[in-house]
Chain A
């Protein structure tokens, strides 16, 4: 199959080698930040195996579940009902943010977060957390698989059926909520359908509901389904009565993915999550064609994307704004804080605008530069100061250490050497020398000349820097 030039694979050459910078870029964009250890590992693997190792995570046994049991703290484990008490959203936020920090498979988390933002549902009176946790397992299990499978499962997901009123969409009284967002936000984008399509698709999905109000499972209620013919996006969907009525919905889901609109819509969204804020139409078109060519198989598409010359091009490096999750988790990982409970990470994430299991609307979060404004940068800087103020504990002591200030600032008498080392360690790429000088000057004006207080001030400065805000 010919590969369009825009996504041609990266071929190392003398001018454009597989080097530390390229490996660091892959680490950062396929996870949360790039620690020196991670960069070393990917660099040693070479460009193709490096991508493969990021894409390959076990589907079954989860090493993190074992690690959570080892740590024993309830917040690390999958939030479950505790003596009849339903799981709390705070526990769920803590659980997922810990996973992001501790996982050996960061792309699994980043992609699951992508789908959480794509198929955004909110916890509420009507949608208990248990339903969202179940949805999270579905998103996670199918994050890198064929999109058609994920879409079919989400269409049957009790949290989604409740959030977009699918369970109340019945023959006598069709409800347009799911039908509209299915096209506008999940598959095609605004402008690719008419209000007439919304009305017709609502009728197609009448009867898609749940088994019982508490602890619901998907169920198709044939008696509530409208069995007449519908006309959707210019084609006729033959109406069917009885249990066969459910096939109409699956037929429409397949039809939505048939044609370039959905492929380009999803490709553009994936490009914005992994490559750049505003991908050029030609790139979107090329990526959409590749996504369609691999049958909307997300892992195959990402393999091609992450291996492409375009993905790692120097002009794209350190240009994306980290999401709040990217920002917090990369700081925790770079500083090797193994006990993120010290930071109440889930709550911090919420303060910075990424309330897990409670996105602002069905459209998820606005991405990219929208994360940055004069309000958010101050809150991010406050976090930088909080993480720099964690207790000092040397890594040699067994247990869950906080900040090893000796390791981070050891033996560095000169302020610029300290800034240079912390910059490379935390940001994942060397700071420009002019910037090292600027930050060192600030540090000398404001912080003690030596000791742990100086190291802490330097950490706050680097985590708060524009360089750290980008990936």
Chain B
């Protein structure tokens, strides 16, 4: 038990990236890997992923707003309403800078507009992890 606790605090932090564009997703995963985070990417949400998040598998979420078939803001709201994920850092990303206010309102911890650079993304993550 002690060993497990040590592993989760000292090992690489785990980040889940939800982004429907495969190229952007791959790029963000490469960036996170370069910054030595343990990153997993998905192009959409399903029951299994939600369970993974709510069981505390991730330290942070990077969530795109315009997902095919769903709205990242609704996903953020959903996690915020659950006790297990009410304070998990959620960084929302979008190509529309206008959406910042509504993203924060939906429960995002922070917002980053596309296209972002390595430096900006790294800085944002380090603020919360």
Question: Are A and B subunits of one complex?
Answer: no
Interface residues of A (CB under 8 A from B): none
